[in-house]
Amino acid sequence: MTRKINPISLRLGLTQVWDYTIQNYNKLNYCYTLSFLKQLQIENIVTKILSLNKFLIHDKEFWYSKNKLFLNIYIVEVDPNNSNKYLFLIKELSKLISNWFFLKIQLRIYKRVSWLTTSNLVSSYVSYLFVQNKNPNKILWQICILLKKHLGSNKVVYSTRGIHSVYLKGFKVRLVGRFDNTKNQMSKSIQQGSGSLSLISLRNQVEFVQKNLYTKLGSCGLQIWLFYEIN
């Protein structure tokens, strides 16, 4: 029986907005290939620059059409002393993308006020705990405690039906890979969850992130589901 790995694909175009839109009106495939390569390069540069300035990216909306780029970036402020860097970041990123990629760009940077229950933040926290050589079971336990404290917290999201207020009603975290230094070469899967975990109801706003973590025993897969419901 097949299983849907990415639950967001069920909702894209119906309730949730696409994060990336690349419009290509040419029949030649290489045009789309170049546009997609340009998107990956821009995403890599933007992520590195914001990381160096101590900003964590929550999500991005990338729309590329007719050699013009519309880019909305939602960031989380790690250092509270960086409040004066917003205007500087917008100017520098706009100049950099325009000079390197010869694009007309319309860039907007938004700051997330409620940042504790974002999937990217949770994945970054798990990566940090792995670097500290924490036990995977203890990592899941700490993540569950963090998310359980914020069950029922509200935030505002933009959907195809307009702006809605949603609240966190459930979560699930899964780790797959080799965790123990034993003779057994087989990988194993551990997961923890709490609350309502429905993937069928379209009333749910689902945040999903998948990330590879590299350890001395090999690569591990991290999957995080955050389930929100419209108020």
In the chain, the percentage of residues whose pLDDT exceeds 90 is 0
Q: What residues contact residue 123 under an 8 Å CB cut-off, 6+ apart? A: 209, 211, 222, 224
Contact 12, 53 (CB under 8 A): no
Contact 18, 12 (CB under 8 A): yes
Mean pLDDT of 60-79: 74
Rounded Cα–Cα distance for residues 3 and 64 (Å): 32
> In the prediction, which pLDDT does 181 show?
64
Mean pLDDT of the chain, nearest integer:
77
> In the prediction, which pLDDT does 89 show?
74
Contact 209, 119 (CB under 8 A): yes
Domains and CATH numbers, the chain: 7-111 (3.30.300.20), 119-230 (3.30.1140.32)
Sheet with 20-22, strands from edge to edge, namely: 20-22, 55-65, 68-77, 104-111
Contact 212, 221 (CB under 8 A): yes
**Residue 207: φ, ψ to 5°:** -105, 125
> In the prediction, which pLDDT does 77 show?
65
What is the tens place of the pLDDT at every residue in 191-224? Answer: 888 887 777 777 788 888 888 888 777 788 888 8
What is the tens place of the pLDDT at every residue in 1-18? Answer: 455 567 788 888 888 888
